[in-house]
Amino acid sequence: MASTVSMRDLAGLAGVSVMTVSRSLRNSPKISEKTKKRVVKIAEENGYSVNPLVAAQMASIRAKRLVKYKATLGLVVYTPSEGAWVGSQKIIKGIIESCEAMGFGCDLFDLADEELTASRLDRMLSSRGIQGVIEAPMLYGLSNYDIDFSRLIVVGSTPGTLPQTFHRVCPDHYGNMDMLLRKLYDHGYRSPGLMVTRDVDSRFNHLWSSRFLAFQQTEGLAKIPLHMPETRSRFDKQGFIQWLNTYKPDVLIATNQELFEERFFEKAGIRIPEDIEVVKININDTTKGFSGVNVMSEEVGKGCVKLVSQLMYQNEYGKPDKPISILVPGEWEDGSMCPSLVSNRLAEV
């Protein structure tokens, strides 16, 4: 069982930094004997126990060899009935690769399995000695499940969910939309249109739509309303054509990959890029031909593992009083579905 007292707690009691506590407990020569004795005494009085992860790491350093195995992390997913989202798959790939690189095992738990109830998941995590858990993107977070979180460190990767319960690492969707809009604006586009379903926009806490609407206002763009079907399965081609003909956007910002997989535009008689140029706010490696923002999902997964490792090192178990969010910025990519944008960039060069 992990100690309920963290290095951060000890630092507050001793009136020193977390780094000073860490060095004192490691008997570092950089810390005075007086300070080390005071920190160690406070640690003993408050029942602080050395994290086994730290002990293993320090033992390996003293032995001048790498640790091949540190601990096993739990990766909790919820695979929707229509299959895993591409972004989720890339995040999971990054998590698994980072675990292998950092010496962690990784056990996967899919809550879509009807037999995997919350109580059973709780028992399995406990029996396997799993203390670090990463929550893959899910519609409903782990905080909704009846699990004893006091002995766990949980890091999520679902963006935007409120209220925030756990620390999380996720794509910077608000910043990515800003990057995309500024790129379009700098290359002469003044009437962009955004199509995003209400369920996806709500799931991301309106991070895309809020930045889009604010940018419209501050930069004096054409006030084109959002095209927002209810769900990803309810895109109406007639409604879309009416919106397109009414507002005439000079470029379309798309979010849903399903539109292209199901040939939505082709069935609606719309040619890309002849009739409308398209950019995408959430490109993953499987999305070909688009200009837009690569959300760097694998880097998000790797960041989750790094954060869990850091929190385990600091013995910070349970629900945090002030959960933090680490935002991973995306990267711009050029593609053939918005040729004017690419041509303008080439002309600049």
| pLDDT by position in tens, the chain (length 349) | 344 677 888 889 999 988 888 888 877 788 898 998 898 889 888 877 655 555 554 455 445 445 566 789 999 988 876 555 667 888 999 999 999 888 899 999 998 888 889 999 999 999 999 999 999 888 778 888 889 999 999 999 987 667 889 999 999 999 999 999 999 999 999 999 999 989 888 888 899 999 999 999 999 999 999 999 887 767 788 889 999 999 999 999 998 877 777 788 888 888 888 999 999 998 876 556 788 999 999 999 999 999 999 999 888 999 999 999 999 999 998 888 787 776 554 444 3
Q: Do domains 71-171+298-330 and 173-295+332-348 have the same CATH topology?
A: yes
Q: pTM for this structure?
A: 0.77
Homologous superfamily of 71-171+298-330 in CATH?
Response regulator (3.40.50.2300)
Please report, for the chain, the start and end positions of each structural domain, with discontinuous segments joined by +.
Answer: 7-50, 71-171+298-330, 173-295+332-348
3-state SS, the chain, equals: CCCCCCHHHHHHHHCCCHHHHHHHHCCCCCCCHHHHHHHHHHHHHCCCCCCHHHHHHHHHHHCCCCCCCCEEEEEEECCCCCCCCHHHHHHHHHHHHHHHHHCEEEEEEECCCCCCCHHHHHHHHHHCCCCEEEECCCCCCHHHCCCCHHHCEEEECCCCCCCCCCEEEEECHHHHHHHHHHHHHHCCCCCEEEECCHHHHHHCCCHHHHHHHHHHHHHCCCCCCCECCCCCCCCCHHHHHHHHHHHCCCEEEECCCHHHHCCHHHHCCCCCCCCCCEEEEEECCCCCCCEEEECCHHHHHHHHHHHHHHHHHCCCCCCCCCCCEEEECCEEECCCCCHHHHHHHHHHC
Homologous superfamily of 173-295+332-348 in CATH?
Response regulator (3.40.50.2300)
